[in-house]
């Protein structure tokens, strides 16, 4: 777990983290809710909330042994948060008496939980007395063992019968801070040297990536303001090279015409522009997220045509000229980036997969006619579910005789630096889960 700011009273951090946990349980994204937390509290609250969400299945199973029915939502969130800390394997994050004392203090200092303070105190003290037996009993509950909803466990097991346990285990690990060096301004080796001079331990990953040995504020790294690097997972760094590989500029030396559909916040847009002199159109439906694209490109010294529009309705934004290459980073369940967003597993519902798969199919259908014969479209999702990857593309190719599926990475399963099996891929390091398919349009 990230270092928690101990100069701030623990009870105060527990209150904030419990509020985030309750927000997720009520269906709200933790990313958005975290913005409401005071800046001074945010690092510690986020670290505690991330820990709670990674072990929420176990905590829920333990709470079920302590009481016959859940207490009110505010009290339940605080109790389950404390249980994830009390049940943590390895070296305890807090001394047991400190954790109980500060949790009860957090309950007493909130109007919503004050009347439940004695109840929470009793539950925690009972767990500390009977922890061995309770933890052993929880091992019979799959949700407690893997800390995912049962439907999610079943789906991953069905889609990846040989690797489902490793996938779920990787989801509960900590994601590294991975950088992509801007090749227009530096090289990976040169920037590694700059980091070493600044006392920042890091190592090379993927083709052009750098992983920091410990997370730290990005804006404090050397060269941030100058645009020497961007933050991007090693798996995500595959998108731009896959699209550009084999694409040739048009006649008379005209630049490539590229489309980045669903582009926000602009990481892959920037990577494409770093690697190729291209006329690039970046589309995203959210106008505020389009501003993020503009800000990110400006820092890197890059430019693109940015439009707030529905990529699936080309008649509202397309100028009628074919694209040489299209990157479709389609909306998905985000089931491949759970270690970075541990709330995703608790926010998603089984019906979301079919709804998102339908949206992905609509985008593919709408964008394919915009690609010139001989051009290429890269379809990607940050998902491990086959309905959003392999099955989606198989169906598309079956219904489009002019679409050729070229050798593609397919499903990249999330990999952690924690001990365990390494899935075969060409990244040689840890990364999030993705799906990549490279489609070429046959010439008539």
The confidence score (pLDDT) of residue 392 equals 98
Q: Packing angle between helix 96-108 and helix 73-86, nearest 10 degrees?
A: 170
Q: Is residue 164 part of a domain?
A: no
Q: Are residues 362 and 437 in the same domain?
A: yes
Q: Are residues 328 and 430 in the same domain?
A: yes
Return the CATH number at 216.
3.30.70.1170
CA atoms of 11 and 103, how far apart (whole Å): 6
For residues 337 and 344, the answer to whether their CB atoms sit within 8 Å is yes
Q: Is residue 259 part of a domain?
A: yes
The angle at the Cα of 55, spanning 53 to 56, to the nearest 5 degrees, equals 65
Per-residue DSSP letter, 436? E
Q: Are residues 185 and 245 in the same domain?
A: no
Adjacent-strand bridge partners of 278: 256
Adjacent-strand bridge partners of 230: 180
Q: Are residues 222 and 251 in the same domain?
A: no
Which one of 262, 332, 382, 443 is the catalytic residue? 382
Q: Is residue 111 part of a domain?
A: yes
Q: Is residue 300 part of a domain?
A: yes
CA atoms of 24 and 187, how far apart (whole Å): 40
Could you give the 3-state DSSP secondary structure of residue 318?
A: coil
The confidence score (pLDDT) of residue 426 equals 44
- What would the DSSP string read from start to end of 71-109? --HHHHHHHHHHHHHHT-SSS-SS-HHHHHHHHHHHHHT
Residues 361-406 pLDDT 10s? 999 999 999 999 999 999 999 999 999 999 999 999 999 999 999 9
The confidence score (pLDDT) of residue 251 equals 56
Tokens at residue 132, please? Answer: 């061995």
The confidence score (pLDDT) of residue 417 equals 56
Q: Is residue 205 part of a domain?
A: yes
Q: Are residues 283 and 421 in the same domain?
A: yes
The confidence score (pLDDT) of residue 421 equals 43
- What would the DSSP string read from start to end of 338-369? TTT-TTHHHH--THHHHHHHHHHHHHHHHHGG
Q: Is residue 5 part of a domain?
A: no
Q: Are residues 252 and 301 in the same domain?
A: yes
Which of 231, 261, 295 finishes a domain? 231
Which of 197, 231, 265 finishes a domain? 231
Give me the number of domains the chain comprises.
3
Residue ranges of the chain whose pLDDT lies below 50: 1-4, 418-427
The confidence score (pLDDT) of residue 385 equals 98
Q: Are residues 312 and 364 in the same domain?
A: yes
Q: Are residues 277 and 248 in the same domain?
A: yes
Give the structural domain span for 116. Answer: 10-147
CA atoms of 415 and 339, how far apart (whole Å): 10
Adjacent-strand bridge partners of 9: none
Q: Are residues 131 and 261 in the same domain?
A: no
Q: Are residues 52 and 192 in the same domain?
A: no
Neighbouring residues of 304: CB distance < 8 A, sequence distance ≥ 6: 260, 269, 273, 280, 281, 282, 293, 297
Return the CATH number at 98.
1.10.940.10
Neighbouring residues of 168: CB distance < 8 A, sequence distance ≥ 6: 146, 147, 148, 153, 156
Q: Are residues 212 and 287 in the same domain?
A: no
Which of 147, 163, 187 finishes a domain? 147
- What would the DSSP string read from start to end of 216-245? --GGGSTTTTTT-EEE--TTGGGHHHHHHT
Q: Is residue 260 part of a domain?
A: yes
Q: Establish whether 332 is a catalytic residue.
A: no
Q: Alpha carbon 395 to chain centroid distance? A: 26
CA distances from 435 to 45, 174, 295, 378, 379 (A): 32, 21, 27, 10, 8
Q: Are residues 309 and 402 in the same domain?
A: yes
Q: Is residue 173 part of a domain?
A: no
Return the CATH number at 324.
3.40.50.150
């Amino acid at each position: 777990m990230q270092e928690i700011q101990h100069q701030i009273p623990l009870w105060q951090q527990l209150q904030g983290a419990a509020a985030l946990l309750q927000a997720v349980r009520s269906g709200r994204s933790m990313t958005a809710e975290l913005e409401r937390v005071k800046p001074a509290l945010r690092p510690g609250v986020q670290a505690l909330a991330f820990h709670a969400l990674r072990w929420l299945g176990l905590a829920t199973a333990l709470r079920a042994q302590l009481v016959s029915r859940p207490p009110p939502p505010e009290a339940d969130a605080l109790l389950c948060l404390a249980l994830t800390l009390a049940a943590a394997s390895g070296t305890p994050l807090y001394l047991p008496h400190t954790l109980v004392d500060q949790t009860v203090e957090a309950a007493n200092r909130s109007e919503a939980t004050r009347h439940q303070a004695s109840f929470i105190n009793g539950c925690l003290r009972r767990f500390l007395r009977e922890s061995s037996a309770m933890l052993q009993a929880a091992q019979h509950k799959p949700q407690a063992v893997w800390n995912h909803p049962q439907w999610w466990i079943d789906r991953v097991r069905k889609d990846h019968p040989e690797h489902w346990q490793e996938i779920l285990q990787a989801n509960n690990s900590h994601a590294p801070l991975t950088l992509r060096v801007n090749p227009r301004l530096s090289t990976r080796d040169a920037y590694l040297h700059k980091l070493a001079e600044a006392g920042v331990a890091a190592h090379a990953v993927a083709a052009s990536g750098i992983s920091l040995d410990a997370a730290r504020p990005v804006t404090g790294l050397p060269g941030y303001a100058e645009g020497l690097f961007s933050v991007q997972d090693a798996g995500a760094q595959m998108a731009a090279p896959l699209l550009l590989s084999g694409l040739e500029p048009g006649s008379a030396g005209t630049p490539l015409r590229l489309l980045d559909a669903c582009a926000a916040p602009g990481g892959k847009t920037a990577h494409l522009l770093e690697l190729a002199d291209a006329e690039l159109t970046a589309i995203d439906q959210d106008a505020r997220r389009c501003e993020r694209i503009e800000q990110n490109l400006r820092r890197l010294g890059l430019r693109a045509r940015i439009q707030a529009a529905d990529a699936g309705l080309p008649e509202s934004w397309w100028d009628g000229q074919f694209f040489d290459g299209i990157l479709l980073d389609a909306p998905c369940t985000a089931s491949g980036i759970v270690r970075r967003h541990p709330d995703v597993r608790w926010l998603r519902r089984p019906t979301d997969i079919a709804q998102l798969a339908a949206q992905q199919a609509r985008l593919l259908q709408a964008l394919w006619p915009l690609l010139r014969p001989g051009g290429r479209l890269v379809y990607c999702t940050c998902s491990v579910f086959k309905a959003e990857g392999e099955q989606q593309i198989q169906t598309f190719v079956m219904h489009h005789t002019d679409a050729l599926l070229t050798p593609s990475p397919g499903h990249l399963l999330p990999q952690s630096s924690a001990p365990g099996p390494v899935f075969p891929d060409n990244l040689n390091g840890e990364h999030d889960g993705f799906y990549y398919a490279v489609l070429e349009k046959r010439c008539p």
